[in-house]
Structure 1
Amino acid sequence: MNSRLSKRVQSIQPSGIRRFFDLASKMDNIISLGVGEPDFVTPWIVREASISSLERGFTAYTANAGLIELRREIAVYMERRFSVSYDPENEILVTIGASEAIDIGMRAILDEGDEVIVVEPSFVSYAPLVQMAGGVAVPVGTSSENDFKASAALIEAAITPKTKAIMLCFPNNPTGSTMNAAEMKEIAEIAERFDLIVFSDEIYAELSYDEDHVSFASLPNMRERTILISGFSKAFAMTGWRLGYVLAPPDLLAAMLKIHQYSLMCAPTMAQYGALEAMQSGMDDVEKMKQSYKQRRNFIVKSFAEIGLSCHTPGGAFYAFPSIASTGLTSEQFAEKLLLEERVAVVPGHVFGAGGEGHIRCSYATSMDNLEVAVERIGNLLQKL
């Protein structure tokens, strides 16, 4: 059967995150810092709105681009919160999670052999999605010395005649790093000078703790070359609802919509009604969750320092990315020993790109009780080592 499979698909490795989740699922007394998912239940007002839509019989397809009411609300929200203005009629598309938005964006712009610069460490799906669209992912690393911020100089050095786009994510998964307007402007100038498209994954925008999030599309001359990706999974605790959205200029959006309408038709109707309520009435819940994450962030960074792990303070998302280089183990060896000997699941940093080696990703989207026990167990392993 392998001879009948696509060579492109065969060349893609399975997600490195899944291996540790699968191991942990077969073990008892596990504390997981591995899942990038809120530990909060979707707010009741959102669930109630979705239930109500079912009770009222709203079970048919929506427009391919999504409910116009939801797209209008997204437009109002994005302008009010992040100072970016988009036309809900032809510049906003509701997708099956932010992942679909990235996938169809790559497929819409890439021809065989086109290159996309991917700033690493990065979410595990970026490079494979480039590859599945026929492109070539070109990694550009960051370092803990600079709090894992993207370097405009390194991005420029990686540009070739085949470069078509830059893939950014901030606040970042897995490092939690953020960028301010001045840092982003340096990258924006490069994008403009070399006529590149910028994919800006801002799914964690609402979870920025120390300074307000600045959207890449809000920078001068960037709206017309930015594919802005966001969604409801993280800030609104709606991961299982699988609902995201993408904002882009009309020509780019039309190309993505073409792929979306043939492959997926539309996002689930009842989820869209829930998302509409989330945007209209859910911001108080978002703020409460954000403050809880910030408290946990402060605790885990302080605790890592106390047990001897160097860890920069993440400015957003809900991940810490401490260095385990002092142990002499690879990130995979450390994560495996931690799981088998201390029953704590984390994600080895190398799965997020070569720049992640020597680190582990720890999600603090779990209870303070779990975090306290997890840090104690990690300390136990460090003492053994």
Structure 2
Amino acid sequence: MTSARLKRVEESATIRISNIANRMIKEGTDVINFSLGEPDFDTPKNICDAAAKAMYGGKTHYSPSAGIPELRAAIAEKLKTENNLDVTEKDVLVTPGAKQGIFEIMMGTLGDGDQALLFDPAWVTYDACIRFSGADTVWVPTVPEKGFLPDNFADYINDKTKLIVVNSPGNPTGGVFGKKTLKCIADIAIDHDLLVISDEIYEKIIYDREHISIGSFDGMQERTITVNGFSKAYAMTGWRLGYLTAPPEIFKLLQKIQSHSVSSATTFVQYGGLEALQGPQDGVKAMVDRFKMRRDILIDGLNKIGLECKKPDGAFYAFANVSEYGNGTKVAERLLKEAHVAVTPGIAFGSSGEDFIRISYATSIDRIREALDRLEKIFA
């Protein structure tokens, strides 16, 4: 009585760990939860005010399926000026979160027997969406010593390969692909006539590096689907607001999926997104500066304890090697049970993460210091 496609998809490990941690918290246990990828900052007031004004001003009716024209135009302008993508508002689809956009892309471009390449480790939902579509994931190993960069991945391409997923800055490693790596991916995509999904949700949370959109490379705009959203940069996770731009023939397919499923993003929420793009950006910088301070304290502390962890260049995740103490799953279970610190086993993101744990430092410096004290007692 259940769907065969659904049976191909496993429960989200990040949400499962967080649910366990939240249950322990409700029972009175002081758990430091490093498992979910959510900024702990409040959405800036000007964004909340804009959405409230829209709601009380009657913007509570159906939106055009692709999004309100004002927001689509603002996104197109942002993509032009910040990402060097030649798009107009007609090329922009506003979605109820970037995750919904990725789901629509997989359902619109993949089918039974197709294959999609993921650089291992990768965010858990990519594989789930690929499997939902009926296609298969091909996991491409990366090199931890080189910042989890892909190496010789052209060897994994065959006549069933349809697309490559790029996530930079990335979850779970915080890695950032430089121009050389992106150019290599672009050249291979062109040579083999492949689509590229570029998930750029963490583009503004980047430290001392430059974000580059792969769709801006010569010959790539006609084969790249760029996905982004408001959740990370503007602390708007619960608002569920994302967007994508795609080549015209693919765009039509994705718009069809959206119109027959979720219809559109929430109308008054879109006005909050418009204010996020057009209003003051100082809140973004302040948040990123805070994340950088947390990153430095956490990484220095982990390495002092003896947990090998390279300093990530983006996002807000540390990917620590715990092989000296067991695999990532056993260490995560031990930390939750004995130290009341919730982290995500690296294996949740692919086999390359077996010896790692992911720590989200989207929490206060005081809690990070407290967690380090607890970890030191466990690993001393």
- How big is the shift at 1:134? 1.2
- How big is the shift at 1:16? 1.5
What is the count of residue pairs matched by the alignment? 376
Deviations 1:247-305 (A, max 9, x none): 11111111100100011111001110000000001411111101111111111111111
Deviations 1:216-275 (A, max 9, x none): 111111111001000000011000000100011111111100100011111001110000
Runs of 4+, deviation exceeding 2 Å: none
2:172, 2:181 → 1: CA distance? 19
- How big is the shift at 1:15? 1.1
2:48, 2:195 → 1: CA distance? 37
The aligned counterpart of 1:62 is 63
The aligned counterpart of 1:5 is 2
The aligned counterpart of 2:229 is 231
1:303, 1:204 → 2: CA distance? 24
* TM, length-normalised to structure 1: 0.96
The aligned counterpart of 2:154 is 156
Secondary structure of 2:79's partner?
A: helix
2:265, 2:23 → 1: CA distance? 33
Residue 332 (structure 1) aligned with residue 333 (structure 2): no
* TM, length-normalised to structure 2: 0.97
Deviations 1:96-115 (A, max 9, x none): 11111111111111121100
Mapped contact 1:167–1:200 kept (Cα < 8 A): yes
**Letter of the structure 2 residue corresponding to residue 201 of structure 1:** D
The aligned counterpart of 1:345 is 342
Residue 354 (structure 1) aligned with residue 355 (structure 2): no
The aligned counterpart of 2:44 is 43
Mapped contact 2:15–2:36 kept (Cα < 8 A): no
1:270, 1:208 → 2: CA distance? 29
The aligned counterpart of 1:95 is 95
- How big is the shift at 1:208? 1.2
1:168 to 166, 169, 189: 166
Deviations 1:308-350 (A, max 9, x none): 11111111000000100011x1211100110110111110100
1:149, 1:81 → 2: CA distance? 24
The aligned counterpart of 2:180 is 182
1:20, 1:103 → 2: CA distance? 22
Deviations 1:116-160 (A, max 9, x none): 011111111111101111111111121321111222x1x201001
Residue 146 (structure 1) aligned with residue 143 (structure 2): no
The aligned counterpart of 2:376 is 379
2:16, 2:279 → 1: CA distance? 38
- Any unmatched runs of 5+ in structure 2? none
Mapped contact 2:74–2:277 kept (Cα < 8 A): yes
**Letter of the structure 1 residue corresponding to residue 142 of structure 2:** T
Mapped contact 1:43–1:285 kept (Cα < 8 A): yes
Mapped contact 1:168–1:199 kept (Cα < 8 A): yes
The aligned counterpart of 2:119 is 119
Question: Are the structure 2 counterparts of residues 64 and 185 from structure 1 closer, same or farther at C-alpha, using a change threshold of 3 Å?
Answer: same
2:167, 2:53 → 1: CA distance? 35
The aligned counterpart of 1:209 is 207
Residue 311 (structure 1) aligned with residue 309 (structure 2): yes
2:172, 2:280 → 1: CA distance? 26
Q: CA RMSD in A?
A: 0.9
- How big is the shift at 1:172? 0.6
- Any unmatched runs of 5+ in structure 1? none
Percent identical pairs in the alignment equals 39
